[in-house]
């Protein structure tokens, strides 16, 4: 049966600094994940043919760079656009936009960043990606936290209110195998 594989990009420089958004490169630890990813995949799934989808952002492309498969970049897979808050830490956002910060906490799914997006917006822009995913064989998506939350919620049929809080850890491959109802799931983590 076909499976869909998800991984966040390796740890980025912005992840280390606690900043959101941006287009930073991988940290040294993130680079170790990129180098270990080909073996993490073949050790767990063998040599089945995969196609790798990344966003247009450096951190996903760098994470995919050592994978020996065909690759496609999707603008629609870019991380949730945090608008005026792009590049800030959560503390800086709370200082600069205290009301927005509280509103986001109140309704994280619908909160839209000034000049940016909400989770609801991202769900809409992912529709074509999901349609294509449904038509394809084994796809590995190297993505971003908010994006993978939306895709994961779609395949597991999770409610919108829970979606923005789904835990998608770094340095972990999530394998979903669609069944008649729902999906089977396995996870492979790199201990670094």
Say which DSSP state 164 is in: G
Q: Contact with ligand F6P (CB under 6 A): which of 82, 93, 122, 140? A: 82
Instruction: Find the distance separating the first CA and the last CA of the chain, reported in whole Å.
Output: 31
Q: Restricting to residues 147-176, name those near ligand F6P by CB under 6 A.
A: 164
Among this protein's residues, is 15 annotated catalytic?
A: yes
Using CB under 6 A, which of the segments 28-36, 64-72, 93-101, 141-149 binds ligand F6P?
A: 141-149
- The rounded distance, in Å, linking the Cα atoms of 77 and 48 is 24
With contact defined as beta carbons under 8 Å apart, do 10 and 67 qualify? Answer: no
Among this protein's residues, is 59 annotated catalytic?
A: yes
Q: How many Cα neighbours within 13 Å face the side chain of 150?
A: 24
Catalytic residue among 104, 144, 149, 171: 144
Q: Alpha carbon of 189 to those of 10, 23, 41, 131, 178: distances in Å?
A: 12, 24, 10, 28, 21
Least distance in angstroms from the C-beta of 149 to ligand F6P? 8
Q: Contact with ligand F6P (CB under 6 A): which of 24, 62, 63, 145? A: 145
Using CB under 6 A, which of the segments 43-51, 61-69, 76-84, 183-191 binds ligand F6P?
A: 76-84
Question: Among candidates 71, 63, 75, which has minimal Cα distance to 36?
Answer: 63
Please say which residue, 50 or 154, places its beta carbon nearer to ligand F6P: 154
Spell out, one character per residue from 34 to 53, where the chain touches ligand F6P: x when CB under 6 A holds, - when not: --------------------
List beta partners, residue 8. 143
With contact defined as beta carbons under 8 Å apart, do 55 and 148 qualify? Answer: no
When asked if residue 30 is in the footprint of ligand F6P (CB under 6 A), the reply is no
- Contact positions vs ligand F6P (CB under 6 A): 20-21, 79-80, 82, 144-146, 164
Binding residues: 8-15, 59
């Amino acid at each position: 049966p076909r499976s869909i594989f998800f991984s966040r990009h390796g740890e980025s420089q912005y992840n280390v600094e606690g900043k959101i958004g941006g287009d930073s490169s991988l940290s040294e630890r993130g680079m170790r994940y990129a180098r270990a990813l080909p073996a993490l995949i073949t050790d767990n799934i063998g040599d089945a043919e995969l196609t790798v989808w990344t966003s247009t952002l450096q951190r996903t492309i760098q994470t995919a760079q050592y994978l020996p498969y065909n690759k496609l970049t999707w603008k629609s897979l870019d991380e949730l656009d945090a608008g005026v808050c792009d590049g800030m830490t959560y503390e800086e956002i709370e200082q600069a936009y205290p009301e927005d910060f509280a509103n986001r906490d109140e309704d994280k799914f619908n909160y839209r960043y000034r000049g940016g997006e909400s989770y609801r917006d991202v769900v809409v822009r992912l529709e074509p990606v999901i349609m294509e995913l449904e038509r394809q064989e084994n796809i590995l998506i190297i993505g971003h936290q908010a994006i993978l939350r939306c895709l994961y919620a779609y395949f597991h049929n999770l409610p919108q209110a829970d979606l923005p809080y789904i835990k998608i850890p770094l340095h972990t491959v999530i394998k979903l195998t669609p069944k008649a109802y729902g999906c089977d799931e396995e996870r492979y983590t790199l201990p670094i």
